[in-house]
Amino acid sequence: MPNLILLHGALGHSDIFNPYLETLSQYFTVHTPLFSGHGDTELPAGGINTEKYTEELDLYCKENNLTEISLFGHSMGGYVALCYAMKNPENINSIITLGTKFDWTEEQALKESKMLNPDAILEKVPKYAQLLESQHGQKWKQLLPAIADLMVDLGKNPPLKNNLTEIQIPVQIMVGDQDNMVTIEESVNVYRTLPNAKLAVLPDTKHPMDKVRPSLLLDVMKDFWNLS
């Protein structure tokens, strides 16, 4: 069976893909790796950025001898998927991204990173703090500033900027119409820049993966990948 890798977003977890595994496993050998610092994996001593996560994806593919890969990436996972495709086009058949932010500037990154204050989250959104601790353990408080640094690095050096035309493989760009982090406009711009892309705007859909209706997303996946 062809290989499908599902990539979670920043502060996400591979568990978010559980509602999709039964269906997708009928068509693919499904892989759900964790980026370092997430789940039970250690935070790298040198910090994290999209280049580091792209290298981790590359290593995962090499260790598992994966070729002819399809990729689905939510949020940051979609960004990493495209970065990987830029460097390893021969390995990738196609990519779907959902809720991936492309329009990174220093100002935007600083604004987003300021929202990743562990103490503020504990005080203002204790349920989210509980979720982060359940997914990532005690180190969730260290993971937040590491992700903030990743965002600032993206703002200063967005690796996909001016390079999207190099990605020739089929790509489906998806965004929810209620996404408060990613604009439809930036998604449209990327869709128009990629040489071989499709665009889908999911109705009544917010940014978090657990707010996406599996039946809706699976229908779009099946359409893009010609699954019957």
Q: For 12, phi and psi rounded to 5 degrees?
A: -90, -170
Q: For 95, phi and psi rounded to 5 degrees?
A: -140, 140
Question: Which pLDDT tens digits describe the chain residue by residue (228 residues)?
Answer: 999 999 999 999 999 999 999 999 999 999 999 999 999 999 999 999 999 999 999 999 999 999 999 999 999 999 999 999 999 999 999 999 999 999 988 888 888 888 889 999 999 999 999 999 999 999 999 999 999 999 999 999 999 999 999 999 999 999 999 999 999 999 999 999 999 999 999 999 999 999 999 999 999 999 999 998
Residues 6+ apart with CB under 8 A from 150: 10, 47, 48, 49, 50, 76
DSSP 117-161: -HHHHHHH-HHHHHHHHHHHGGGHHHHHHHHHHHHHHHHH--TTT
How many whole angstroms separate alpha carbon 179 and alpha carbon 188? 14
3-state secondary structure of 71: strand
Kind and range of the H or E element at 163? none
Residues 6+ apart with CB under 8 A from 200: 172, 173, 174, 175, 220
- Considering the entire predicted model, what is its pTM? 0.96
